[in-house]
């Protein structure tokens, strides 16, 4: 079987590595080659350390040869450049930190490292994550891989663009007011914004400490579940971390056997979002998406929320537990 290695999801990469179809070194090298080809145009990555990535991949191959099996073992990923990473330049998209190479790293990064992930490099972001287009980085604009004349969203635009362009299997981003979810939508990938406190913020260069959340950019929900299962969980180094059991996200993501998997699920679409002057393609995409799902059991109704209160609610930090 011939594999298009840079097109692999986390799940497919793990399956191939486990079966011995390819090595982590080969997989990592394929991503590095693609980065060297596309990143000069996209500017998704700010820092790539090929030597360190290949060394991590070789170590992962050795661990697998010894019979070890961890959730992300040998899988190449990217990290938004607001996540402190030991030995890898961390700029937060700012010239102020242009030469900052940490001697320590944050909890989410450390958990991925322990799980065997290979770090390809750090992705572009609006400076200190303060933006929504990745145009406001001290290191230039990131381009949307689907149309390089357009932005990838932000502030996790580098991570979203990297996943969409096949420069990594998955990436970490951060979300304060939409900075994982919005670039995921712009780039056509899956974005998971965790509830506040679900993932430790220790080692995250802060934008708004009472709102910041580390999340995942991935090809699909299954991949997001795999990565999130590694990074989630209580951390004594973050006083806002939730001391709750981490659910089995992968099992929860598994497709149900029923022919109507969404039976009984009700989805609300606010009427106020379907307004006069909306772009026709947005209207078609928004309204049209609801029709096919009726056949699998989803009950779609348009409702009217207390929209005038939404902004105030969005500015409040809420945590369960």
Q: Which residues are catalytic?
A: 80, 155, 179
Report the alpha-carbon distance of residue 224 to residue 249 in Å, rounded: 9
Residue 201 · residue 239 · CB < 8 Å:
no
H/E segment holding residue 266: strand 266-268
Cα 21 to Cα 12, 13, 27, 74: the distances in Å are 11, 10, 10, 13
Contacts 24+ apart (CB under 8 A), 33-37: 34/6, 34/165, 34/166, 34/167, 35/120, 35/121, 35/167
Cβ-based neighbour number of residue 239 at 10 Å: 9
Residue 120: helix, strand or coil by DSSP? strand
Do the Cβ atoms of 159 and 171 come closer than 8 Å?
yes
d(CA 218, CA 143): 18
């Amino acid at each position: 079987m011939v594999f298009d290695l840079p097109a692999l999801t986390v799940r497919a990469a793990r399956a191939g590595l486990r079966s011995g179809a390819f090595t982590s070194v080969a997989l990592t090298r394929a991503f590095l080659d693609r980065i060297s080809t596309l990143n000069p145009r996209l500017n998704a990555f700010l820092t790539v350390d090929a030597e360190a990535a290949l060394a991590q991949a070789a170590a992962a191959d050795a661990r697998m040869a010894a019979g070890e099996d961890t959730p992300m073992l040998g899988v190449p990923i990217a990290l938004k450049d607001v996540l402190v990473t030991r030995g890898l330049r961390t700029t937060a998209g700012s010239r102020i930190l242009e030469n900052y190479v940490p001697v320590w790293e944050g909890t989410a990064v450390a958990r991925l490292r322990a799980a065997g992930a290979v770090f390809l490099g750090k992705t572009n972001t609006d400076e200190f994550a303060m933006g929504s287009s990745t145009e406001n980085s001290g290191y230039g604009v990131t381009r949307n891989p689907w149309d390089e004349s357009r932005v990838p969203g932000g502030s996790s635009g580098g991570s979203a663009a990297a996943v969409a362009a096949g420069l990594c299997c998955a990436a970490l981003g951060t979300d304060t007011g939409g900075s994982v979810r919005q670039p995921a939508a712009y780039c056509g990938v899956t974005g998971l914004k965790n509830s506040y406190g679900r993932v430790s913020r220790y080692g995250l260069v802060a934008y708004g400490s009472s709102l910041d959340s580390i999340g995942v950019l991935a090809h699909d929900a299954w991949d997001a579940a795999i990565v999130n299962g590694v990074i989630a969980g209580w951390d004594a180094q973050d006083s806002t971390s939730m001391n709750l059991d981490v659910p089995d996200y992968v099992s929860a993501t598994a497709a149900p056997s029923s022919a109507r998997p969404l039976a009984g699920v009700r989805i609300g679409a606010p009427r106020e979002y379907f307004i006069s002057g909306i772009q026709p393609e947005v209207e078609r995409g928004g309204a049209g998406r609801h029709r096919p799902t009726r056949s699998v059991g989803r009950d779609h109704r348009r409702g009217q929320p207390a929209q005038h209160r939404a902004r105030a609610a969005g500015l409040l930090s809420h945590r369960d537990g």
